[in-house]
Amino acid sequence: MARFVLSRAVKAVLTVWIAITATFFLLRLLPGDPTTLMVEGDMTPEMQAALLKTYGLDRPLWEQYVSYLRELTQGNFGISFRQIQPVTDILVDRLPWTLLLAGTAFLVTIAIGIPIGVYAAVHRGRWPDKILQAAGIGGHALFVPSVAMLLLVYLGARLGWFPIGGAIDPDTRGLAAYASLAHHLVLPVASLVLVQLGPYALTLRTNMIEVLGEDYIRAARARGLSTRRRVWKHGLRNAI
């Protein structure tokens, strides 16, 4: 078990390292440099050179990379060239909203996905199961921003059913503020749920089929336990 955990930890670290390394070098292969976002019309070449020196962008690429990794390990993500403030402050400011969105989408996904996955497993090979398999495979091919954009355009901009930006309507208090927040959450949550639901339910269905074939489930059936109890109490607990 310890070897398995260590192996997964090493793979996770390597994956993160490859991702941040690729991001670092790809951004620096682009034309120009990050300070072009900060350059104003009356900024002289000397002022721009000073700006490059301030952020260490005038140093050799390998030095920038080493400094980049060192600062990351210390939790320093640098300054946003677009917003001119520490990246950490930006992340902290947006973290509560991110957790709210991701947490809500996760709860909705499991609330809908568990019954669908269990039903498909119990009725394996029938048309509901086939629909779930198609939806699960299709869900893997969906791209969250694309789904979100379609929902924004049609349900937000064209039909006007939902807001297309922000989190809460201004000047709302009490219950009205919570209702406004829920209204604003609908499209972002729907975007995540539409992408996650099929694969989640399909994975649960596969696990349920495997669990329902175990000996202890057969033994429970032989003892006369009802299908509902075998599936929902004994099977689902292990499948999840």
For residue range 68-115, what is the model confidence (pLDDT) as tens digits?
Answer: 888 888 877 877 777 778 888 888 888 888 999 999 999 999 999 888
Q: What pTM value is reported for the model?
A: 0.67
Terminal Cα-to-Cα distance of the chain (whole angstroms): 20
- Give the SS3 label for residue 237: helix
**86 - beta bridge partners?**
79
233: enclosing H helix or E strand: none
Residues of the chain above pLDDT 90, percent: 8
Reply yes or no on whether the pLDDT at 213 is more than 70.
yes
**Can you tell me which residue has the tokens 């994956």?**
15
- Give the SS3 label for residue 144: helix
Looking at per-residue confidence, does 133 or 188 come out higher? 188
What's the CA gap between 120 and 130, in Å, rounded? 8
What's the CA gap between 185 and 147, in Å, rounded? 15
**79 - beta bridge partners?**
86
Looking at per-residue confidence, does 199 or 139 come out higher? 199
Kindly report, residue by residue over 8-22, the tens digit of the pLDDT.
888 998 998 899 888
Reply yes or no on whether the pLDDT at 214 is more than 80.
no
Q: What mean pLDDT is predicted for residues 124-146?
A: 79
What's the CA gap between 27 and 33, in Å, rounded? 9
Amino acid 104: pLDDT? 93
Amino acid 103: pLDDT? 93
Q: Are 85 and 75 in contact (CB under 8 A)?
A: no
Reply yes or no on whether the pLDDT at 167 is more than 70.
yes
Range in 26-40, 60-74, 142-156 with the lowest mean pLDDT: 26-40
For 37-91, the DSSP string reads: GT--TT--HHHHHHHHHHTTTTS-HHHHHHHHHHHHHTT---B-TTT-SBHHHHH
Q: What mean pLDDT is predicted for residues 166-195?
A: 84
Mean pLDDT for all residues in the chain: 81
Range in 37-46, 57-66, 100-109, 183-192 with the lowest mean pLDDT: 37-46
Q: What mean pLDDT is predicted for residues 189-195?
A: 90
Q: CA neighbours within 13 Å on the CB side: how many for 200?
A: 19
Name the band, by pLDDT with cuts 50, 70 and 90, for residue 131: confident
Q: What mean pLDDT is predicted for residues 172-186?
A: 83
Name the band, by pLDDT with cuts 50, 70 and 90, for residue 38: low
Reply yes or no on whether the pLDDT at 140 is more than 80.
no
Kindly report, residue by residue over 40-54, the tens digit of the pLDDT.
656 677 777 777 777
What tokens does 67 get?
């400094």
